[in-house]
Structure 1
Amino acid sequence: MIFTLTPNPAIDITYAVPRLHVGESHRVSITGTHAGGKGLNVAGVLACMSVEHIAIAAVGERHLGFFAEDAAQRGIRLRAVESSVITRRSVAIFSSDGLATVLNEQGSPQPPEVWDELTGIVRSSCRPGDVFTVSGSLPPSTPDDAIVNLCTVAAEAGAELVVDGRGRWVTQVLETIPALVKPNESEAASMTGIVDPLQAAHALVDAGAWGALVSRGAAGLILVTATGRVIEARPRTPGGGNATGAGDALTAAISAGLHGTPRDEVDWPEVLRVGVAWSAAAVRQTVAGVVDRADVESLLDDVDIIEH
């Protein structure tokens, strides 16, 4: 089973405009309102893959019904923890020139009992061979040990850990538990102080990651493992579109590739090829967490793999 944790879920609203002009009024088309946050987007892509998963998230009580209904419609298996905190909103403005502007509310601190319940779900659910992914931001004032405890519980249960986030909490996890980290270029630079993605990936491995996969947008991605492998995957034909869900699609594909397979037996060239194809297919969608498998099939042969 693949478990996705969304520490800071959101109601994702996507607006389409011909072009965004700062300082002016716009008439918008609403292209989607979904239960969101990066972990739920990952779960949405796993549903498109027909991969078994459970999406774990703390949801404000007034929005529980909406999250449950939206998840059911999208084939997401949701395990929601009811919270007294109102769920934040995230607005993505997608223009016809291919640019996306995202406005994210910070969210609000979750009470301690919510973190306790989330930890209890992970402890009772994870098994050897499972994958546990943590994706996205943390609510303000999250206790320093909250996510570390969750990841520790998952790892002690035998689950493989995938972390897609930025900030001090990621390095705290790596100080405690080996994990596969999947930052983008800017996130990797922020965490390491190193602009070059290859060197940043090496630095993340030195910091405790057993693998560091740095995504580079249309330029593809690079993976460095603790065993010394360095692999690049690049689309031959970079495509344009809405990139807001590309990283989540990549996380889903990597998690699916790890599921049930010991990390030293993973066919990384194939997993990365599939990951780039799913990520590129996600760019063709106007909302995150949705991918057309026909797009993926058309992109699988358009990826170059280079192992150094």
Structure 2
Amino acid sequence: MILTVTPNPSLDRTYEVPALERGEVLRATGERVDPGGKGVNVSRAVAAAGHRTLAVAPLGGAPGALVAELLAGQGIDVAPVPIGGHTRSNIAVAEPDGTLTKINAPGPHLTPGESEALLAAVGAHAAGADWVACCGSLPGGLAPTWYADLVTRAHGHGSRTALDTSGPSLLVALRGRPDVVKPNARELAEAVGRPLATVGDAVEAAEELRAAGAGAVLASLGADGQLLVSADGVWYGNAAVASVRSDVGAGDASLAGFLAAGGEGPAALAAAVAHGAAAVQLPGSQMPTPAHLNPSAVTVTTDIPLDRALTE
């Protein structure tokens, strides 16, 4: 069972338009409303793959109630933590060429009591979880050390931890020795404090995160594939994608595929790549089902293209 923690969930509205024209009245050709936030998306992808999951999230107001309702409608167990503020609402505008414009609201400010209630909710359910996936930005009221506390508590309950966040909260949480961290190329560069020009640069940066405390690094490099760097070796995975419809939640789908496939080794990396490639070809933040996956299009190798330039 995979338990997900989303400190700053959202209600996500995605509109598809022929073109984004600033200052004009636009007619959408498609619309989706999805429960959102990185951990929530991981739970949605895990459930879509037919595995057990529980989503822990602070939820408040009408948007929070709708998030819980939408998750339950997808067969996902939810452990909501009531808060006084309102769950944020985000908007994404998708164009036919794959260009995506996103407006993310800041989210509510959690009180010290709500922060502790969220940690307590994780503790109440972590003992039955194989993985605790800690994902997304921290809302106001949560210190950068919050994820570090969560990782330590999850380990205390015998669960492995996967961390998908960025900035100071990522660097501080490394002290708790999360089993897997999942940065994208930008977040990886930010973590090591320098730009990354090649896949080889990304490998070196991932090794630095391992030296700082991460058990393994699953790095999403966008169109340039994915890396898995662990104590057992380094693997590179990629898959051809005919067209990109929306990349919202693609990294979350990748993490879900990785954890559902065991969370270690080349087979799990192949599952991550397959899920990410399927997700970008779906509208909005729709998560792929097994029917959307194309494992035969995935290649995983230890022959790392170190000199390959990163395009994103």
Would the TM-score normalized by the shorter structure come out above 0.5? Answer: yes
> Which residue number in structure 1 is paired with residue 295 of structure 2?
300
1:228 CA drift (Å): 5.0
> Which residue number in structure 1 is paired with residue 272 of structure 2?
275
1:84-163 matches, within 5 Å, as 84-127=84-127, 130-163=130-163
Q: How many angstroms apart in 1 are the aligned matches of 2:145 and 2:240?
A: 42
1:216 CA drift (Å): 1.0
> Which residue number in structure 2 is paired with residue 247 of structure 1?
251
Q: How many angstroms apart in 2 are the aligned matches of 1:63 and 1:156?
A: 33
> Which residue number in structure 2 is paired with residue 207 of structure 1?
212
Moved more, 79-88 or 238-247: 238-247
CA gap 1:167/1:13 in 2 versus in 1, 3 angstroms: same
Q: In 1, are the aligned partners of 2:10 and 2:67 still within 8 Å (CA)?
A: no
> Which residue number in structure 1 is paired with residue 203 of structure 2?
198
1:279-294 matches, within 5 Å, as 279-294=276-291
Q: How many angstroms apart in 1 are the aligned matches of 2:100 and 2:114?
A: 33
> Which residue number in structure 2 is paired with residue 50 of structure 1?
50
Q: How many angstroms apart in 1 are the aligned matches of 2:216 and 2:280?
A: 25
CA gap 1:239/1:200 in 2 versus in 1, 3 angstroms: farther
Q: In 1, are the aligned partners of 2:259 and 2:268 still within 8 Å (CA)?
A: no
> Which residue number in structure 2 is paired with residue 262 of structure 1?
none
1:183 counterpart SS class: coil
Q: How many angstroms apart in 2 are the aligned matches of 1:104 and 1:237?
A: 27
Moved more, 273-282 or 56-65: 56-65
Q: In 2, are the aligned partners of 1:155 and 1:177 still within 8 Å (CA)?
A: no
Matched, 1:79 2:79: yes
> Residue type matched to 2:262 in 1?
L
1:223 counterpart SS class: strand
> Residue type matched to 2:238 in 1?
R
Q: In 1, are the aligned partners of 2:10 and 2:89 still within 8 Å (CA)?
A: yes
- What's the C-alpha RMSD, in Å, of the aligned pairs? 1.7
Moved more, 186-195 or 6-15: 186-195
2:248 counterpart SS class: helix
Q: In 2, are the aligned partners of 1:132 and 1:154 still within 8 Å (CA)?
A: yes
User: May I ask how many residue pairs the two structures share in their alignment?
Assistant: 298
1:20 counterpart SS class: coil
Moved more, 198-207 or 29-38: 29-38
> Residue type matched to 1:75 in 2?
G
Deviations 1:169-202 (A, max 9, x none): 1111111233311011011111112313112111
Moved more, 13-22 or 124-133: 124-133
1:163-202 matches, within 5 Å, as 163-194=163-194, 195=196, 196-202=201-207
2:296 counterpart SS class: coil
1:54 counterpart SS class: strand
Aligned residues with identical type, % of pairs: 32
> Residue type matched to 1:224 in 2?
V
Q: How many angstroms apart in 2 are the aligned matches of 1:292 and 1:124?
A: 29
Deviations 1:248-303 (A, max 9, x none): 100101121236xxxxxx4x11111111111111111112142142220xx10111
Q: How many angstroms apart in 2 are the aligned matches of 1:71 and 1:129?
A: 19
1:18-33 matches, within 5 Å, as 18-33=18-33
1:64 CA drift (Å): 4.0
CA gap 1:65/1:107 in 2 versus in 1, 3 angstroms: closer
Q: In 2, are the aligned partners of 1:92 and 1:100 still within 8 Å (CA)?
A: yes
Deviations 1:152-181 (A, max 9, x none): 111111111101111101111111233311
Gaps of 5+ in 2: 304-312
TM (norm. structure 1) is: 0.91
TM (norm. structure 2) is: 0.90
Q: How many angstroms apart in 2 are the aligned matches of 1:238 and 1:214?
A: 22
Deviations 1:123-144 (A, max 9, x none): 1211276100011111134223
Q: How many angstroms apart in 1 are the aligned matches of 2:292 and 2:257?
A: 14
Q: In 2, are the aligned partners of 1:218 and 1:239 still within 8 Å (CA)?
A: no
1:243 counterpart SS class: coil
Q: How many angstroms apart in 2 are the aligned matches of 1:62 and 1:129?
A: 29
Q: How many angstroms apart in 2 are the aligned matches of 1:48 and 1:292?
A: 5
Q: How many angstroms apart in 1 are the aligned matches of 2:25 and 2:191?
A: 37
